[in-house]
Amino acid sequence: MKNNRIVIFGCGGHSRSVTDVLLSTQNKLLITYVDKEAKEGETLFGFPVLKSLEFADLPFFFAIGDNIQRKEMYEQMGSDHLISIQSSKTHLEKDAKIGKGVFIGNFTHIGTQTKIGNNTILSSGSNVEQGCVIGNHSHIGPGAVVSSRSALGDQVFIGAGATVEDSISICSNVIIGAGALITRDIEQPGVYIGRPAIPMQKIQTS
């Protein structure tokens, strides 16, 4: 990193997880947070929080949990100086392919022959097994499991503790609720909850 400096966009809950990993793996970092809701004089972990910043060619990261907002930032700013952040407590197989702007939290497992798309979050304790493909701008929640040879599209959110069974395909723009169990392919965007998971709209109209 240039002069040990990094710019982090976002100052919500996810930024705390990101900072925790950064500070545990890098020495003498100089972090600047950028958040449009920043208050004058605000700090986080002793580092300044600003509403805007001219940062030129400094490395940066999107610490934003919401897939849509994170995608918009990615498309607006590009990825030339976007970095990925990986915990030292991660188990990552050597042949796994990781995109740009990916966050890999503590105690995450990423199996052999996996592909993780750009700007994606793998939260603490998540498990992406061998042969899986995770799309761009997606988010695998804490303790969630994506079983072997499954494929997730872009902007997919897998809630905390949810399980995707082997060889499942999930289309783009899908939200899986916390603790859900996915036993069959999902071909339509929407929100799915339950064990086994079904579209939330079916529950609301029943």
CATH number for position 117: 2.160.10.10
pLDDT score at 56: 66
Q: Tell the residue number behind the tokens 């940062």, with chain if given.
A: 55
pLDDT score at 120: 99
Per-chain mean pLDDT for the chain: 93
Instruction: Identify whether 77 is part of a domain.
Output: no
Is 60 in the same domain as 104?
A: no
Q: Tell the residue number behind the tokens 């995608």, with chain if given.
A: 71
* pLDDT tens-digit readout, 60-75: 999 999 999 999 999 9
Give mean pLDDT, residues 46-56: 84
Contacts of 206 (CB under 8 A, 6+ apart): none
Give mean pLDDT, residues 104-126: 98
pLDDT of 107 above 90: yes
Give mean pLDDT, residues 108-119: 98
Q: Which residue type does 55 have?
A: F
Closest CA to 159 of 182, 141, 172: 141
Q: How many domains does the chain have?
A: 2
CA distances from 44 to 40, 50, 51, 104, 108 (A): 12, 11, 13, 21, 25
Give mean pLDDT, residues 176-204: 92
Four-point Cα dihedral 16, 25, 81, 79, nearest 10: -60
Q: Cis link prior to 196 (omega < 30° from 0)? A: yes
Structural domain boundaries enclosing 25: 2-64
pLDDT of 206 above 70: no
pLDDT score at 57: 81
Is 60 in the same domain as 89?
A: no
pLDDT of 4 above 90: no
Is 163 in the same domain as 97?
A: yes
pLDDT score at 28: 83
Closest CA to 168 of 188, 153, 180, 184: 184
For residues 1 and 3, what is the distance between their CA atoms, to the nearest angstrom?
6
Contact 14, 65 (CB under 8 A): yes
Is 93 in the same domain as 179?
A: yes
Of 18, 34, 64, the domain-final residue: 64
pLDDT score at 202: 64
CB atoms within 10 A of CB 85: 20
Which of residues 26 and 43 earns the better pLDDT score? Answer: 43
pLDDT of 104 above 70: yes
pLDDT score at 132: 98
pLDDT of 108 above 70: yes
